[in-house]
Amino acid sequence: MRRWFSEPLVHFLILGGLLFGAHGWINRGNDDPPRVLRVTAAEVNWLAETWTKQWQRQPSEEELRGLVADYVKEELLAREAKEVGLDENDTIVRRRLAQKMEFLVQDTARLAEPGEDELRRLYDTEPARYRTPACISFTQIFFKTETAARTGLAQVALHGPAQVGDHTLLDREYATLDEQTLATLFGEQFARQVFALEPDRWLGPVPSAYGFHLVRVNGRENPLLRHFGEVRTQVLEDWHRAQQARVNEQFFDGLLKKYEVVVDETVRPLMGPFAKVGQ
């Protein structure tokens, strides 16, 4: 409860409410009775707390009086500024308000915690995200030139792979690599081609960043859905991100319904994604 009172927004809302109330009340009659700025114990507590955090001690009586006086002064000036419209057409004020609204929406989204069944549902509906990638195991023989690789293929067929190929730092045997890792080792084109090769026979030449390769695919592992427990953190993160995006979008859609955006004919081409709403 106490923390709420130290929140700027709460103040904003309280004061906003007061202002609204005051406005209505003022407009009851034609007389202009004084408007109300209510300073409660909660405000004073907040002022004292802020001070304490900054100076690492409680404010003295006198300091507190100063704080309250400043607060009243600032508040009245701010209200008067609003009254005469100083907040309008002010980039800083507008941006700040928009940002407060955004933070509010985002924080609300972030605060929501899904139930276990909701996470399960996300995990079940998007299994592709939580799969281990397909993996491949293969043997490769390296050649500097394509011609040598073609000759090599014939030799391998006759005599086996043992004595064939040029020297290379690349390994001969690669076990359970996914396509992405394979691409970081040999280049993308090689990875794509090797993943498409028929297993258990020498094929090639397959070109890579280094030269030409004869390849024999020895095994293949299909993607496996990872256990829910193993990927729960990831599912939760995905849920939060999706939730945030959804809330942002819904909120803004709501705003677009609430407001009618009216634009000049010349402005319409500039409306981008809002072209359809800019009637």
Partner 1 sequence: MSPFRISAIMVLLVGLSTAPWALAHEQSDIGSADKAALEKVHPSKPAYSPYAGRNFPTRPLFGDQHLHTSFSMDAGAFGARLTPRDAYRFARGEELVSNTGQSVKLSRPLDWLVVSDHSDGFGFFPQLMSGDPELLATPQGRKWHDQIKSGHGAEAAMDIIISFGKGQLPKGFPLPGTRAYRSAWQEVIKAAEAYNDPGRFTAFIGYEWTSNTGGNNLHRNIIFRENGAKAGLVEPFTTLKPLGSDNPVDLWKWMAATEDKTGSEVLAIAHNGNVSNGRMFPMVEAFGKKIDREYAETRMKWERLYEVTQTKGTGEAHPVLSPTDEFANFEIWDKGNLDGTEAKKPEMLEFEYARSAYKNGLKLEAQLDVNPYKFGLVGGSDAHNGLTAMEEDNFFGKTAPQEPSPERMTRAFFNNSKTGVKVMDWEVSASGYAAVWATENTREALFDAMKRRETYATTGSRMIVRFFGGWDFESPDMHNRLPAAIGYTKGVPMGGDLTDAPKGKVPTFLVAALKDPIGANLDRIQIIKGWLDAKGDVHEKIYDVVWGDADKRKPGKEGKLPSVGNTVDVANATWTNTIGDPELITVWKDPDFDAGQRAFYYARVIEIPTPRWTAYDAKRLGSKPLPGTTMMLQERAYTSPIWYTP
Q: Can residue 250 be called a binding residue for partner 1 (CB under 8 A)?
A: no
Q: Which residues pair with 237 in a beta bridge?
A: none
Q: Can residue 95 be called a binding residue for partner 1 (CB under 8 A)?
A: yes
> CB of 198: closest distance to partner 1 in angstroms?
24
Q: Can residue 58 be called a binding residue for partner 1 (CB under 8 A)?
A: no
Among 23, 184, 200, 255, binds partner 1 (CB under 8 A): 184
The edge-to-edge listing of strands for the beta sheet with 212-221 is 173-178, 135-143, 212-221, 202-207
Query: Quick one: which segment of 79-87, 116-124, 208-216, 256-264 binds partner 1 (CB under 8 A)?
Result: 208-216
Nearer of residues 33 and 90 to partner 1, judged by Cβ: 90
Nearer of residues 50 and 151 to partner 1, judged by Cβ: 50
Answer left, alpha or beta for residue 250, where phi above 0 means left and psi between -120 and 50 means alpha. Answer: alpha
Q: Which residues pair with 138 in a beta bridge?
A: 174, 217
From residue 216 to residue 235, what is the string marking binding to partner 1 with x (rule CB under 8 A)?
A: -----------------xx-
Q: How far is CA 136 from CA 54, 100, 122, 192, 215, in A?
A: 60, 51, 28, 11, 12
Among 83, 124, 146, 237, binds partner 1 (CB under 8 A): 237
Query: Quick one: which segment of 27-35, 103-111, 148-156, 256-264 binds partner 1 (CB under 8 A)?
Result: 103-111
Nearer of residues 104 and 256 to partner 1, judged by Cβ: 104
**CA 226 to chain CA centroid, nearest Å:** 23
CB 143 within 8 A of CB 166: yes
> CB of 110: closest distance to partner 1 in angstroms?
5
Q: Can residue 171 be called a binding residue for partner 1 (CB under 8 A)?
A: yes
Q: Can residue 111 be called a binding residue for partner 1 (CB under 8 A)?
A: yes
Q: Can residue 104 be called a binding residue for partner 1 (CB under 8 A)?
A: yes
CA angle, residues 91, 92, 95, in degrees to nearest 5: 80
- Helices in 112-263 by DSSP H: which ranges? 116-125, 146-159, 179-186, 188-195, 228-258
Q: Can residue 202 be called a binding residue for partner 1 (CB under 8 A)?
A: no
Q: Which residues pair with 220 in a beta bridge?
A: 136
Distance CA(221)–CA(131), nearest Å, equals: 12
Q: Can residue 161 be called a binding residue for partner 1 (CB under 8 A)?
A: no
Q: Can residue 159 be called a binding residue for partner 1 (CB under 8 A)?
A: no
**Residue 114 carries which side chain, given as an amino acid letter?**
P
Nearest residue to 106 (alpha-carbon basis) of 273, 254, 249: 249
Q: Which residues inside 65-94 make contact with partner 1, applying CB under 8 A?
A: 91-92
> CB of 277: closest distance to partner 1 in angstroms?
21
CB 238 within 8 A of CB 223: no
| Count of CA atoms in the C-beta half-sphere (13 A) of 46 | 17
Residues of this chain that interact with partner 1 (CB under 8 A) are 4, 7-10, 13, 50, 53-55, 91-92, 95-96, 99-100, 103-108, 110-111, 167-173, 180-181, 183-188, 208-211, 233-234, 236-237
